[in-house]
Amino acid sequence: MTERDALAEPDPTLAALGRIARDSASRFAGHNLRIRRSRVVHAVRAYPWLGGLSLPGPACGQGWGGPGVGGDLHPTSEQVTCEHQRCRGAAAPGVPAHRAQLALDLGV
């Protein structure tokens, strides 16, 4: 195998990682996300991953274990409820961020 052949042949590991990244991106396209069983809905942004690829994650930077490809992150069409400003500004189009002021009963 020549050097030129080696460059033309895709690296199988990078190809597999690319499939994972594309699948994750397509699952979250136009959606917000939940982390595990949390009731909080986060906006989505891309995070750098391996080999120059990226994976979706919470726009606010909320932590979670692992890269999210093991089922920790769940796409949802529900509106963003995360109060962090980065989530509010990055809500999926057509899915408004929760911005309603909650009523405060002062008993007056």
Q: Establish if 44 belongs to a structural domain.
A: yes
The answer to whether the CB of 42 falls within 8 A of the CB of 34 is yes
User: Does residue 45 fall inside a structural domain?
Assistant: yes
Lowest mean pLDDT: which of 24-33, 45-54, 59-68, 98-107? 98-107
Q: What is the DSSP letter of 10?
A: P
Domain membership flag for residue 50 = yes
* 104 lies in some domain: no
Indicate whether 30 pLDDT > 60.
yes
Rounded CA-CA distance 13/29 in Å is 24
- Given a contact cutoff of 8 angstroms between Cβ atoms, the answer to whether 42 and 62 are in contact is yes
What is the total count of domains within the chain? 1
- Categorize the per-residue pLDDT at 34 as very low, low, confident or very high, splitting at 50, 70 and 90: very high
pLDDT over 80 (residue 12): yes
- Dist CA 64 CA 49 (whole Å): 15
Structure pTM? 0.70
The predicted structure's pLDDT at residue 85: 74
Residue 21 located in a structural domain: no
42 lies in some domain: yes
In a domain, 17, yes or no: no
- Is 21's pLDDT higher than 90? yes
The answer to whether residue 37 is domain-embedded is yes
Domain that holds residue 87: 31-63+71-97
Distance CA 33, CA 17 (A): 21
